[in-house]
């Protein structure tokens, strides 16, 4: 596509979307973010939404990434199989209008023992490497509702693993018998660290979670149940993710508060982490895909 | 209390209650079950509910057990510490009216590394042993929203462990991204057994749960996600519970469909199980507590 005179890059997820007008030198000249994620857009309204983004940001070529390319999005873009680097992703772009409006594919790991999928993180990964924010090979963690652990090799996604950590914590906090005990911001304090240690050691999640309740029922001093529970889950998450680790510092991409918790947990596990700005990684990734497409 | 001319035994939980009029020989002469559990009874309405039970079943002495003795119930009855057998439980009964209306205490494990509480299962445990349905020593599992694994020694509750298995499965089925995939009855078929094996081996719950989603997103043949997920959780549950096992057949008390699943899972783990009728165990337990109080 013709990116030299500027283009629009959109990160369109389930709940939110962020759109950027990028000039030929890679600078963002205009942008907006709103809550018009997939859940807020009826299936037949995507064409109008795309037109409206151009009204707001300019009549430029556009690349979209994220859940907008899933079955519940605008057009379903077939997954690219890993190993997947910038070339495979660029080749997999689905053009709703040739050269003008394209959707970046997600990545699939078609392994019977570890089937996995991603849509969105692949752009940040190739962007972080292209921008020199992360080395070409190493482990990268994207904490979130569904956390992604990506083993990069030579700038491509070699293998990855997704965990339901964020979603499970949200379910417990919102709907479980522990709901009343898990309110407030999670801080990486002593209770969080104790939970991480137990999770790293593979403590049984089902019994430890009830332990949080029992503790409370016994009227014992429970200063930070939210911290402990979050730590327990993140410890288990690390246990899953670190199986893909082959050495070196681990990259952390995404929400700052979550990256702070994961960074503290990784430090407890003996692994230094490098924090990467997710927006910068995304824009760098869209840039390289725009250039290659 | 004077149980020889008949008494009323009530199993009063969070959601449901069951009340029985028992004659001096231990036979049930009248009974009812309804959904007037704690959630349906305002705090100031318990006296009226008790009076109404006597209107329906007769003006007899009454023993209540279950969550009715918790903070959110009628009167909070202090937990008895384990090891707790019939004598300790009988001694811990809280008499709302002396000799006439009593509430059986729950049991607490005040162990900093494994704090735990129960209210209700203790009656079934001592009853099953008293009625000769289970040996005096051995491991007993009560599957449910919060499954209990009880290590009995000489007819007393020596140690126990609670797991959030049933609640977690319900959360996933009702509120998670997997909701649409987990509908229907769970059967102990191949997918269930595969899940149990993985759980027993300590497979990472957080990544395996997302695997159920990925499997689906990849359009792969997924004949029984509910069975697999239930098996995965029950396998993890067994892993926690079997740590208390010191040999012998394992007793299973409670809901028949759940006991069938747990029995199948225990068989996979190499442990024979003995199914015990929960109602019969409850009535035998209330009988022995009535006699001792």
- Return the CATH number at B241: 3.30.420.310
Q: Report chain A residues whose CB lies below 8 A from the CB of B117.
A: 213-214, 217-218
Instruction: Verify that A22 and A121 share a domain, yes or no.
Output: yes
Q: What percent of chain B has pLDDT over 70?
A: 99
Compute the distance between CA of residue B266 and CA of residue B259 in angstroms, rounded to an integer.
10
Q: Tell me, yes or no, if B222 comes closer than 8 A to chain A by beta carbon.
A: no
Query: For residue range A4-59, what is the model confidence (pLDDT) as tens digits?
Result: 999 999 999 999 999 999 999 999 999 999 999 999 999 999 999 999 999 999 99
Maximum CA extent, chain B: 66
Q: Does residue B194 lie in a domain region?
A: yes
Instruction: Verify that A169 and A76 share a domain, yes or no.
Output: no
In terms of phi and psi (left: phi > 0; alpha: psi -120 to 50; beta: otherwise), the region of A219 is left
Mean pLDDT by runs of 10 across the 293 residues of chain A is: 93 95 94 95 96 97 97 95 98 96 97 93 97 96 96 97 97 95 95 98 96 90 88 98 94 94 98 95 97 93
Instruction: Find out whether B267 and B292 touch, Cβ atoms under 8 Å.
Output: no
Total of domains in chain A:
2
Nearest CB to A240; choose among B79, B204, B214: B204
Instruction: Verify that A251 and A198 share a domain, yes or no.
Output: yes
Mutate to test the interface with A, among B214, B219, B220, B222 (most CBs of A within 10 A): B214
Nearest CB to A207; choose among B79, B110, B163: B163
Length of chain A: 293
Q: Which residue in chain B is spatially nearest to A215 when comparing CA positions?
A: B115
Q: Report chain A residues whose CB lies below 8 A from the CB of B167.
A: 176-177
Confidence at B93, pLDDT banded by 50, 70, 90: very high
Instruction: Verify that B93 and B178 share a domain, yes or no.
Output: no
Q: Tell me, yes or no, if B172 comes closer than 8 A to chain A by beta carbon.
A: yes
Query: For residue range A108-135, what is the model confidence (pLDDT) as tens digits?
Result: 999 988 999 999 999 999 999 999 999 9
Contact B214 A171 (CB under 8 A): no
What is the nearest CA distance from A249 to chain B, expressed in angstroms? 22
Q: Does residue A158 lie in a domain region?
A: no
Query: For residue range B233-261, what is the model confidence (pLDDT) as tens digits?
Result: 999 999 999 999 998 889 999 989 999 99
Instruction: Verify that A258 and A168 share a domain, yes or no.
Output: yes
Q: Report chain B residues whose CB lies below 8 A from the CB of A117.
A: 213-214, 217-218
Q: Does residue A254 lie in a domain region?
A: yes
Instruction: State the alpha helices, DSSP H only, in B112-224.
Output: 121-130, 165-175, 190-200, 205-217
Kindly list the distances between the CA atom of residue A287 and the CA atoms of A123, A150, A280, A283, in Å, as whole numbers in the listed order: 10, 21, 11, 6
- In this prediction the pTM is 0.94
* Kind plus residue range of the DSSP H or E element containing B240: helix B225-241
ipTM over the 0.85 cut-off = yes
Q: Tell me, yes or no, if B233 comes closer than 8 A to chain A by beta carbon.
A: yes
Domain residues for the domain of A272 are 163-276
Q: Does residue A11 lie in a domain region?
A: yes
Q: Tell me, yes or no, if B239 comes closer than 8 A to chain A by beta carbon.
A: yes
């Amino acid at each position: 596509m013709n990116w030299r005179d500027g283009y629009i890059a959109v990160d369109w997820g389930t709940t939110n979307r962020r759109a950027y007008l990028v000039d030929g030198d890679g600078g963002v000249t205009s942008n907006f973010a709103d809550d018009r994620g997939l859940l807020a857009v009826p299936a037949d309204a995507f064409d109008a939404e795309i037109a409206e983004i151009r009204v707001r940001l300019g009549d430029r070529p556009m690349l979209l990434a994220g859940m907008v390319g899933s079955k519940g999005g605008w057009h379903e873009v077939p997954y690219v199989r890993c190993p997947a680097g910038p070339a495979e992703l660029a080749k997999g772009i689905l053009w709703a209008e040739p050269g003008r409006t394209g959707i970046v594919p997600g990545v699939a790991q078609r392994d019977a023992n570890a089937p996995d999928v991603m849509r969105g993180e692949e752009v940040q990964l190739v962007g972080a490497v292209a921008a020199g924010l992360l080395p070409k090979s190493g482990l990268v963690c994207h904490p979130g509702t569904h956390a992604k652990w990506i083993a990069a090799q030579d700038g491509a996604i070699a293998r990855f693993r997704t965990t339901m950590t964020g979603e499970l914590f949200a379910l417990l906090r919102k709907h479980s018998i522990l709901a009343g005990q898990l309110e407030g911001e999670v801080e990486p304090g002593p209770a969080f660290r104790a939970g991480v240690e137990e999770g790293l050691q593979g403590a049984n999640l089902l019994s430890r979670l009830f332990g949080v309740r029992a503790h409370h029922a016994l009227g014992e001093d429970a200063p930070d149940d939210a911290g402990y529970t979050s730590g327990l889950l993140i410890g288990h998450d690390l246990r899953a993710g670190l199986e893909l680790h082959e050495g070196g510092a681990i990259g952390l991409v995404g929400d700052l508060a979550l990256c702070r918790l994961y960074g503290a947990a990784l430090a407890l596990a003996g692994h230094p982490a490098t924090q990467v700005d997710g927006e910068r990684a995304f824009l760098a990734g869209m840039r390289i895909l725009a250039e290659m497409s």
